[in-house]
A and B are shown apart, each in its own frame.
Chain A
Amino acid sequence: MEPDVDARAAVEVEGLSLAFAERVVLSGLDLRIRPGEFVALLGHSGCGKTTLLRILAGVERGFVGRVEVPRAVAVAFQTPRLMPWKRVWRNIVLGLPGRPDRGLAERYLAEVSLRDHAGTWPKTLSGGEAQRASLARALVREPELLLLDEPFAALDALTRSSVQQLVADLWSRRSCAVLLVTHDVEEALLLADRVLVMKGGRVAHEVAVDQPRPRDVADHRFVALRRLVLGWLGVSRA
């Protein structure tokens, strides 16, 4: 285990519990994410991953426990959730304080190669473009914590890998902490510094991925890690 040299944390969660009408979703969950750390969270459907993410995003308040997050948190959801009645650039700056201008939106759209689409309607974007726009909308908030809720799940395989690469690039250029919720073990191991597996409403397993990037899925250490995590998830595969 690596020593905890940095006493600061981007996320600190202690004893987090939450139940929806008798059904316990989270029970005594602890989580700590260092500033700038990329953490992937795996688990079966309904294990509480998305609930944890919604709590960290500040939209779910019916919990017990202590939760500390940075002031600047941004979220990219599984679907882009762009407002169809606002042009792309207005979607990017939606909710920002003051009167943000188009130039600001265009700077961030350029980062996801969508600068030319600033003035168009969201309906004209493809699935991958819309998801990139949603990433730009998260980044324009310059978050200290970026929450990604299965943002690649609804994309086709080719688009998925290019958006994954984009996320990796964007993260390496910034210093924000990332919590990526996903079902995809390979994706988690490719992107994250640390992979967590949730079970029974808490973090049941975790492993640090300390291979240099970009990672090779065929590397024997990668294969071994994947087998380990799949085992935790109860999927036994040769």
Chain B
Amino acid sequence: MIAAGASVVLTPEDNRSRWRPPRWLRRAAGPVTLLAAWSVASTTGLLPPEVLASPSDVAAAGGRLLASGELVTAIGVSGQRVGLGFALGTAVAVVLALLAGLFRLGEDLIDSSVGMIRTIPWVGLIPLLIIWLGIDEAPKVALVALAVTFPLYFNLYGGIRSVDAALIEAGRVLGMSRAGLVRHVVLPAAAPSALVGLRYALGGAWLALVFGEQVNASAGIGYLMNNAREFYRTDVIVVCLVVYAALGLFCDLVVRLAGRHLLTWRDSFDGT
């Protein structure tokens, strides 16, 4: 018997009686409200078009730019800059992280230098990059590469250095060569960390592109934006911002999907 006054009666929860809006509806509510408020502010004249174009004007401008092919060309040019810079930055980061991660000599020579250079804000390097590389494509690609190199380097290096020593020993006992250990033990173990670095790197890459394209761009999304600024075309500017955001989001999605595919072996907390 439970002493009187000390017991609590637990009843099963009944979820059927009350209707709850589905999760996607609740999530969509915030952005939809914002968009509606913006729309209302524009139509009532509270928000004049030279400050911010209305959502419908933005959509129309987007449609026009798409139809004329300007937007696609611009995305192609900007995408190429990001792609080149990203490939260059990734190559540098992977080589440095492997040297520093796998060899103590490499660590001594590389890690402190990279740590030091990292403290320089890369946006501040734009004037130097212009002096060194001119004002064409090279400084834009270099800026993206810089933004990619550091986060990827630190995460990959950290990943390599946190590989479980017991697994390395097991690999050695199993008769694996040094190259085999790197390929089958060290790199797979460092992959989760490297993927985090990759997401940071991609975020940095698009940001670097936006900065880089403010410098004398004669093509690309930045060029569209600068042109629009001259004529107070806020609708085109917003289209360009949306395109930047969408491209960044798309890249992040690709890395996340790749991660989910590559890391199915992991037995880690997925959130509740």
Given A85-B189, A85-B265, do A137 and B174 touch, yes or no (CB 8 Å)? yes
Q: How many residues of B contact A (CB 8 A)?
A: 20
Residue of A nearest to B181 (CB): A95
Contact with A along B80-92 (1 / 0, CB 8 A): 0000000000000
Q: Is A170 an interface residue (CB 8 A)?
A: no
Q: Is A121 an interface residue (CB 8 A)?
A: yes
Shortest Cβ gap from A119 to chain B (Å): 12
Query: A83 touching B267 by the CB < 8 A rule?
Result: no
Contact with B along A68-112 (1 / 0, CB 8 A): 000000110101010111100000001111000000000000000
Query: What are the 9 A-B residue pairs with the smallest beta carbon separation, nearest first?
Result: A95-B174, A123-B267, A81-B170, A85-B188, A95-B176, A95-B175, A85-B265, A75-B173, A121-B265
Query: B173 touching A123 by the CB < 8 A rule?
Result: no
Query: B265 touching A94 by the CB < 8 A rule?
Result: no
Q: Is A122 an interface residue (CB 8 A)?
A: yes
Note all chain B residues with C-beta closer than 8 A to A58. Answer: 172-173
Query: B266 touching A84 by the CB < 8 A rule?
Result: yes
Query: B173 touching A86 by the CB < 8 A rule?
Result: no
Q: Is A158 an interface residue (CB 8 A)?
A: no
Q: Is A10 an interface residue (CB 8 A)?
A: no
Q: Is A25 an interface residue (CB 8 A)?
A: no
Note all chain A residues with C-beta closer than 8 A to B169. Answer: 59, 81
Q: Is A167 an interface residue (CB 8 A)?
A: no
CA distance A81 to B175 in the complex (A): 15
Shortest Cβ gap from A56 to chain B (Å): 10
Q: Is B127 an interface residue (CB 8 A)?
A: no
Give A residues with C-beta under 8 Å from B.
57-59, 74-75, 77, 79, 81, 83-86, 94-97, 121-123, 137, 141
Query: B173 touching A85 by the CB < 8 A rule?
Result: no
Query: B171 touching A59 by the CB < 8 A rule?
Result: no
Query: B166 touching A59 by the CB < 8 A rule?
Result: no
Given A83-B188, A94-B184, do A123 and B265 touch, yes or no (CB 8 Å)? yes
Shortest Cβ gap from B228 to chain A (Å): 48
Note all chain B residues with C-beta closer than 8 A to A95. Answer: 171, 174-176, 180
Residue of A nearest to B264 (CB): A121
Q: Is B167 an interface residue (CB 8 A)?
A: yes
Note all chain A residues with C-beta closer than 8 A to B166. Answer: 77, 79, 81
Q: Is B185 an interface residue (CB 8 A)?
A: yes
21 of the cross-chain contacts (CB-CB < 8 Å) are: A57-B173, A59-B173, A74-B173, A77-B166, A81-B169, A83-B170, A83-B185, A83-B188, A86-B188, A86-B265, A94-B174, A95-B175, A95-B176, A95-B180, A96-B175, A97-B175, A121-B265, A121-B267, A122-B265, A137-B174, A141-B175
